[in-house]
Amino acid sequence: MKGAKLTKLRSALKKLPSIAKLDSSVAAAEDSAVGKLHPVLVGKSRRRYLVSSEIVDHPLFQELVDRSNGSDGMISVACEVVMFDHLLWMLENADSHSVTVDDLVEFYSY
């Protein structure tokens, strides 16, 4: 009985795509027509997001990153995850010229 389960497990594992194939698929998706995606670590939990170049290059985003003082070479944002979700929505959908960058950075940072 135990041997049969092990054989089924091995068979199932062989059918899964390899990690290398998954990594190359993710890399291809990141470089797709949408533009390059950048990993961003957010909040104390360091939740990982993939963010487009347009967002990363936005002055508000850059100011927030600068104030977050990430020292590990990764893009880090000291912001609550829920607030970061809202920031992404706002940068993608709202007119960001209606408020100053300083006002927004103060709102989003810890």
**Confidence at residue 20, expressed as pLDDT on a 0 to 100 scale:** 43
| Strand blocks (E) in the chain | 37-42, 47-52, 75-77
**Confidence at residue 81, expressed as pLDDT on a 0 to 100 scale:** 92
Rounded Cα–Cα distance for residues 49 and 41 (Å) = 6
Q: How confident is the model at residue 2 (pLDDT cuts 50, 70, 90)?
A: low
Count of beta carbons in the 10 Å neighbourhood of residue 63: 16
- The answer to whether the beta carbons of residues 61 and 38 sit under 8 Å apart is no
**Confidence at residue 60, expressed as pLDDT on a 0 to 100 scale:** 86
What residue ranges do the domains of the chain occupy? Answer: 33-108
How do residues 82-106 score in pLDDT, each as one tens digit? 989 988 988 887 665 566 667 767 7
Q: Which two tokens mark 47?
A: 């939740």
**Confidence at residue 1, expressed as pLDDT on a 0 to 100 scale:** 57
- The verdict on pTM exceeding 0.75 is no
How do residues 13-68 score in pLDDT, each as one tens digit? 566 655 444 444 455 554 454 569 999 999 999 999 999 998 999 888 888 888 88
Rounded Cα–Cα distance for residues 63 and 105 (Å) = 7
The class (CATH top level) of 33-108 is alpha beta
* Backbone phi and psi for residue 87, each to the nearest 5 degrees, phi listed first: -60, -45
